[in-house]
Amino acid sequence: MAANLPDPTGTSPAKPNSTVGTRVRNLLIVLVAIALSVAVFFGLQTQTNSVSLNSLAEEATPLEVALKNGKPTLMEFYANWCTSCQAMAPAMDALEQQYQDQINFVMLNVDNTKWLPEVLHYRVDGIPHFVFLNSKGEAIANTIGEQPRTIMAANLEALVAGASLPYAQATGQVSAFSTAVKPTKPANDDPRSHSSQVVN
């Protein structure tokens, strides 16, 4: 009868090693699966938001073509170091995909001295700087700084329709930019002095 009585010391037989090992293995599998899921999630987020300014510039319409093809144009002055330009890159890529058949998208890097005449002509002193050109290549409006996608889309819709832009002359967050060359002014700007420059 003593064999059927409970153990008075309270000790129980040890669990087999295979059960503890199985639990540890299952815990490790769960942890690895969670880590991989998080890595894949963040990896996909990074890929979908990584539109580079260089890739946008490569896909952009050359300025010479845009001025001659009879379509309205959105010209963006940018720089690779410009955080506002980088922040707008995904929205600009989406807008270009949406309007590429109706509007030229031109990108001019302000760090490239080739575009200095345009930088001076359009008075670029902060970037991103957007210039809206009609189908004849004439500047009709501009916006400066980081703009919400909805604002840019409304302006592009108006540009396509040939209507006045609802958000022209808008200014958002900009990255400061200054050219090494400043436009020169005549020494004497007084209109009354023009006659004194005439030699008899």
Catalytic site residues? 82, 85
> Burial level of 116, CB count in 10 A (0-12/13-18/19+)?
middle
153 and 108 in a common domain = yes
Residue 134 domain-assigned (yes or no): yes
What was the pLDDT predicted at 18?
73
Instruction: Over range 68-76, report the average pLDDT.
Output: 95
CB 161 within 8 A of CB 107: no
Instruction: Over range 77-87, report the average pLDDT.
Output: 94
Among candidate residues 31, 50, 69, the one where a domain is terminated: 50
pLDDT band at 17 (very low <50, low <70, confident <90, very high): low
160 and 78 in a common domain = yes
Portion of the chain with pLDDT greater than 90, in percent = 55
Q: Evaluate the omega torsion of the peptide bond into residue 128 and state whether it is cis, within 30 degrees of 0.
A: yes
43 and 91 in a common domain = no
Q: Token pair of 160, please?
A: 């396509």
102 and 28 in a common domain = no
Q: What is the pTM of this model?
A: 0.61
pLDDT in tens, 86-141: 999 999 999 999 999 999 999 999 999 999 999 999 999 999 999 999 999 999 99
CB 112 within 8 A of CB 137: no
Question: Residue 71 gets which letter from DSSP?
Answer: S
pLDDT surpasses 70 at 30? yes
pLDDT surpasses 60 at 67? yes
Residue 194 domain-assigned (yes or no): no
Q: Give the domain CATH number at 132.
A: 3.40.30.10
pLDDT in tens, 161-185: 999 899 887 544 556 666 665 555 5
Domain that holds residue 130: 53-176
pLDDT band at 82 (very low <50, low <70, confident <90, very high): very high
